Amino acid sequence: MDFRVDAKKAFAYTASHPVDPEKPTVVFLHGAGLDHSWFGLQSRYFGYHGRNVLAVDFPGHGRSEGPPLATIETLAEWVLRLLDAAAIRGAASLVGHSMGSLTALECAARHPERVERIALIGTAYPMKVSEGFLEAARRNEQSAFDMETIWGHAPRTPFGGNPNPGMWMYGDTLARLARLAPGVLYAGLKACNDYAAGIESARKVRSPALFLLGARDQMTPPKAAAALVQAVPGARSVTLPASGHSLMAEAPDGVLDALAEFLTEPLPAN
């Protein structure tokens, strides 16, 4: 479904259902250089089980018009404007991966009245990016796409470990990255690298929080999320043993099971 945010087209997958402001809403926020389809199984499930789903394409990604946004803070504010454009006035649950996880965290810290729960997948703080990776992305070199793809999966991936028959995870990721306009991957990586408010924002979160981490994640290993987990009041953490950074593709059922349990349990009493 197309929305208008800041006078530009903003796309969000809604599981082929109209948005109903009376239903609970789950917003899926993808990582740098990716798009809404990264949450294919998970977003479709919730869309067919009584919830509004907004699996977004951030500006400059997928079907949303650019330019890309340069900071995690501006991405967080954009999410609120997307909710307004979709006529979602109450609190929504945010599920973010990598760059999207930092966006969800910042959004919850800034706008607690609009965020019911947050699930942070493949996250870390600080989320530093190597100078070589950043420079390759700035130059729009193929090596940047290769680094994002290889480091974004557990080492087993090239050896037939895809849990979805007929799909090739490396090829799938590279195809998404090849569609990007120059500078989009760089903008997202730099936003993650430059984000400096993580611990301060984590301490401000008042909504229930779930961390979903991949034990074999080479980009955001579980130990790199420890400070955030500790800083978010009452946060819980689940580690999926066989997954790398691309948890939604590498461990789709495990991610879905954890999200289904988290998003459907009763909210704590105020």
**Residue 193 included in any domain:** yes
- pLDDT tens, position by position, 107-118: 999 999 999 999
**Residue 61 included in any domain:** yes
pLDDT > 70 in the chain, percent = 95
**Residue 11 included in any domain:** yes
Determine contact, residues 104/197, Cβ cutoff 8 Å: no
End-to-end CA, the chain: 35
Residue type, position 37, single letter: S
| Mean pLDDT of the 73-79 span | 98
Q: How many domains does the chain have?
A: 1
Task: Give the CATH number for residue 118.
Answer: 3.40.50.1820
Confidence check: pLDDT of 232 > 70: yes
- pLDDT tens, position by position, 150-196: 888 887 654 445 555 555 677 778 788 888 889 999 999 999 999 99
What is the model's pTM? 0.94
Model confidence at 98, in pLDDT bands (50, 70, 90)? Answer: very high
Determine contact, residues 232/204, Cβ cutoff 8 Å: no
**Residue 246 included in any domain:** yes
| Mean pLDDT of the 136-143 span | 94
C-alpha–C-alpha distance, residues 127 and 32, integer Å? 12
Domain extent, residue 17, equals: 2-264
